Structure 1
Amino acid sequence: MLPNNFTYESPDSLDQALNRLMTKEDVILLAGGTDLIPLMKIGVKRPSCLLDLKKIRSLKSIEMRKEGLFIGSMATLDEIGRHPMINRFLPALGHSARSVASPQIRNQATIGGNLFQERRCFYYNQSEHWRKTLSPCFKSGGAVCHQVAGSKTCRALYYSDTAPVLLASDAQAEIFDQKGFGILPLREVIHRHVTDGSEKLLLTGVLIPILPAGAWVEFFRYSLRAAIDFPTVNAAIRFSPAPERGQ
């Protein structure tokens, strides 16, 4: 099906984007679009305004700070997978970024979009005509979960490949919401996203703190197909050596 009518805006600055986001209704942020556009085509997402963030250069930065490594939310997964500084500082993050989908999709998809992607289930990610054959689910405003029969809550799954590594690394999220600018644990921001996706929030980037000496993170992924597929299981582990006595 064709997407509904909507306006398209492409602000040049972060201030412009925040002003539009906070003052307009039914606004959806557009990053790479690899998750959003297919959802619009099947009628799951019906924004009145698309706010494209591609012109905001500050959201694409990758830099070392005294606190750790900062990655802007509009950095693409391809850039993250190939970036020498990222692969020296946290190789597991480069590994997780390279595991996503295909080269074409990684070229377009961003880390912000990967972290803020919609949860998926066999009911929600179908055409509007298909969904009308069943009663609306929790995620669609109804009162049933078709993913897990009898569940009292939505059981749609969250498939981010980069999130496990960032969570294991105690990453912080730099965000703007209706309260203004804030730096919060990434796990808190992801929880807010998956439990209340309607909140007006713009992720400017993630800050990965410097790990203690001897610590490391590893990423594991299993999917049913070797070709393009969503993961069956994503996992990241972190090892930190025990502090020596007296420290």
Structure 2
Amino acid sequence: MIKKEILDTLKQAGTFAILALIIPVVYLVNSLRLENNQDFIHYLDWGLTFLFPALILYMSWSIFGKEDSEDSWDYLRTLPVGRWKLFLIKTLPRIVLTIPIVCWMTFYRWGWTMYPEGNTMLWITVSLLTASSGFFLGLAERKNPAMVLLFSLPVLFLTEYVEGTGLSWETSIWFFLNVMKPNGWEYAGLFFWFSRISLLLFTLIPAALPVLALIPLYRDWNSCSKKAMSLKAAKRMAIPVMVLVAIHLI
């Protein structure tokens, strides 16, 4: 079963690799029609900036695509596979492929190169969050636009605040001005680790809360209809999503 998921993941990545061939085509066409065309690296930069996030979201959204298209949910429910083993089988190949993509976006596109070891939290959280959101969305109504939007909000929140929410930074600055500076503790390492803790408390954990709230529902996934699962998921995600909105507005 894991081999099938790996192959499906590679096929999805291959589809986007084929789409990436559009980039040199556009570059060549513009080279013929424009006198002052941009360098190819410019086209590659912007092309991958759109394709990579699209690939991550598509892999997440289509975790249970085969089961839906082949109407094989009843068969899946009869397999002697534990709940968390199924979760790992479905998400692990996507997570493994997502991490290097997020790594590229972090360093190259977002330019967050200071203290690169601290970015590990971001890579892991984004990868886990997108895969987990897609997994639980697949158990609900993944073709329902409202559910897709609801499950996308944590990922969009984390993407928007990739370097931390305003609350994260305000807390870090307060700590520097009111604790570190008065006591002569003006050490870059200390500020870095406190800022990582602030990032964890006020950005990463809030982004993960809507998905974490769905874990209890997973116990009943094989005895609950998709519509019922959607309603239960929406109720459980309501408060965590409101927390994200509140942090966004602060």
TM-score strictly above 0.5? no
Larger Rg: 2
Question: Given the two structures, how large is their TM-score scaled by the length of structure 2?
Answer: 0.31
Question: Given the two structures, how large is their TM-score scaled by the length of structure 1?
Answer: 0.31
Greater per-residue helix proportion? 2
Greater per-residue strand proportion? 1
